[in-house]
């Protein structure tokens, strides 16, 4: 058995799960999420826990068993507590400003970059004196939040010499030494 797939998913108070054919819908205080799944897998709800079972030990069923358990667990956590990512802009003159669902970034290019974010993602920026600007993203959809963060980070990845760029808070960048003086 898959160690991930056979683990039950705990359903917290205030979260309802509905299975309709091959679509599972999870509704909670933070929002509603839906996911299509393989109809060969069976999802059952017993005393506040979801259990996912596979019909056979085929390679495809084994792979999907753990995958859909993880996706459904992420949905349950997302609608109950939500997900939050903090990104830090490291570099002189790097700035971020959020106006509604539009994020404006100044990353050392000749022009500002504007990113229109999906309505499911809430954005907030913080700029304090003598600290790096922060971009705080929140959403109930873990997958969408990760895609948005990856898109923002791809605009100016942290470089290994000075460490300038967009990085996650707490991320450690492997630094390289620059040119070293030749020993004569």
Note whether 9-80 and 83-168 share their fold.
yes
Is the pLDDT at 104 greater than 60, yes or no? yes
Contact between 69 and 4 under an 8 Å Cβ cutoff? The reply is yes
What is the architecture, at CATH level 2, of domain 83-168? Answer: Alpha-Beta Complex (3.90)
Where residue 6 falls among pLDDT bands split at 50, 70, 90?
confident
Where residue 177 falls among pLDDT bands split at 50, 70, 90?
confident
Q: What CATH number does the domain located at 9-80 have?
A: 3.90.930.12
Is the pLDDT at 158 greater than 80, yes or no? yes
pLDDT for position 182: 57
Q: Can you give the residue ranges of every domain in the chain?
A: 9-80, 83-168
32-83 pLDDT, tens digit each: 999 999 999 999 999 889 999 999 999 999 889 999 999 999 999 999 999 9
Half-sphere exposure of 103 (CA within 13 A, CB side): 27
């Amino acid at each position: 058995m898959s160690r991930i797939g056979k683990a039950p998913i705990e359903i917290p108070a205030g979260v309802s799960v509905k299975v309709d054919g091959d679509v599972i819908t999870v509704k909670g205080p933070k929002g509603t999420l839906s996911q299509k799944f393989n109809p060969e897998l069976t999802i059952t709800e017993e005393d506040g826990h979801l259990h996912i079972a596979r019909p056979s030990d085929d390679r495809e069923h084994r792979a999907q068993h753990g995958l859909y358990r993880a996706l459904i667990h992420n949905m349950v956590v997302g609608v109950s507590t939500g997900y939050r990512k903090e990104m830090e802009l490291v570099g002189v003159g790097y700035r971020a400003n959020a106006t509604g669902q539009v994020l404006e970034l100044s990353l050392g290019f000749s022009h500002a970059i504007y990113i229109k974010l999906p309505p499911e993602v809430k954005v907030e920026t913080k700029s304090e004196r003598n600290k790096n600007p922060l971009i705080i993203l929140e959403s109930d959809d873990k997958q969408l939040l990760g895609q948005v963060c990856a898109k923002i980070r791809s605009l100016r990845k942290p470089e290994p010499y000075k460490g300038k760029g967009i990085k996650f808070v707490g991320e450690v960048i492997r630094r390289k030494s620059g040119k070293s003086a030749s020993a004569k």
